[in-house]
Structure 1
């Protein structure tokens, strides 16, 4: 069996009192799902058959998976009365569940990183479901299934340094709303009403007044003071 096949998934605590603590997932998940959603606002335009959808913001990514814990089939096992498991299911359950608790230094649950081969996801554990299906003679868990949901975590600094926003020096498309004019759009998008000329040229408009609600306009890249254009 190759080394790649033997690679195990890891959950690493990134901040707080247990910073850099690593929890090994001895049984890799058989599958995982990664979901992402965007938020839109419906804007009703008089005369149109359906509203215009305006992008509001992106939601955090969500990673979901099922993890399996079992003392009796653990690669480090088997467990017996004479050979105790170094990291029994009960202990692993407590370690993972603790990631939902409020950290005394952060005053919030700590962010974690989930690594499995080339896949890396930084987030917080949003939801944890536990189902125990086998027990040791003393009643402690011996086999459990965990349903874990991670929600993407990005600090304020990361979002400011690498924002998911469209810059004014990129080509954009905007819809005409109500009594919008090229002058108003230019002032709103470029802080310069005189930029209506380039908007008209980019949309082959001979008459700048020849626009109506629902029309889509292409906004060219912003022109820099040195006369160059922003990269497309």
Structure 2
């Protein structure tokens, strides 16, 4: 159950796809939480048809990476936070924001990996599109308000309830129910971002045979110190 406290949407930048190497000063907290966000799930199908044959049912091929669309408001009029800045407007805010979500890693020459967390949302992926609409200006043309639209491709945490807890405490013990097709290395990868911790998880759950998980079985994944 929610504790009723205001929680702001936070975007964190990482240098690696395992989200273990954070970017220095690579964290952005929104001024105002978004009114909505959109998660897109796209199954892909193959619709090839031989010449002269009748129509056939599309054949499922794969699930595309999920996409997250979210809009963030920038404002320097003082209406929201009581701190007007009509000299520089939102220029510094936008610059800081772009350095996190749009600047690229010098080693890989690609944008940083992003983790977006807010309430029940925990989305990890890479930026595919960013547009900024400037909506209000000072008499000299300095922008005072803007709306940034992000599209990030990646994956949302499967368990929204657990995602909400993750955003409150990154070291929280995770509890999961085994589903058909789950393996301990796979579940460990989902929780910690790396499957190599499965032996520690097996030990914590007193599992003597981690290869034969039973659907419906409940496992807990304790806080672990990451290995180098």
- Fold shared per TM-score above 0.5: yes
User: Which runs of 5 or more residues in structure 1 are unaligned?
Assistant: 155-165, 168-228
Do the aligned residues in 2 keep the contact of 1:14 with 1:20 (CA within 8 Å)?
A: no
Shift of 1:8: 0.5
Q: CA deviation at 1:54?
A: 1.8
Match for residue 110 of structure 1? 112
| 1:134 CA drift (Å) | 1.9
- Looking at structure 1, the residues matched to 41 and 78 of structure 2 have their Cα atoms a distance apart, in angstroms, of 35
- C-alpha deviation, 1:152, in angstroms: 0.8
> Which protein is bigger by CA-based radius of gyration?
1
Query: Which residue of structure 1 aligns with residue 94 of structure 2?
Result: 93
Alignment size in residue pairs:
156
**Alignment partners' CA distance in 2, 1:46 and 1:104:** 50
Quick check: 1:52 aligned with 2:53?
no
Within the candidate set 146, 149, 158, 2:148 is matched to 146
Task: Say whether 1:130 aligns with 2:132.
Answer: yes
Cα distance per residue 1:98-157 (max 9 Å; x no partner): 322332123210001111112110111211111112234554321111111111169xxx
* Structure with the higher fraction of residues in strand conformation: 2
1:202 aligns with none
- The alignment yields a C-alpha RMSD, in angstroms, of 3.6
From the superposition, tell whether residues 76 and 117 of structure 1 become closer, same or farther in structure 2 (CA, over 3 Å). Answer: same
Higher deviation after alignment, 136-145 or 31-40: 136-145
1:74 and 1:3, CA in 2 relative to 1: closer, same or farther beyond 3 A?
farther
In the TM superposition, residue 3 of structure 1 has moved relative to its aligned partner by: 6.3
d(CA) in 2 for partners of 1:15, 1:22: 13
TM-score (norm 1): 0.55
**Aligned counterpart, 1:39:** 44
TM-score by length of 2: 0.56
For residues 79 and 124 of structure 2, the distance between their equivalents in structure 1, rounded to whole angstroms, comes to 27
**In structure 1, how many angstroms separate the alpha carbons of the residues matched to 2:119 and 2:128?**
23
Separation in 2, partners of 1:230, 1:5: 38
Residue of structure 2 aligned with 1:79, choices 81, 84, 87: 84
Aligned to 1:4: 4
Shift of 1:230: 9.6
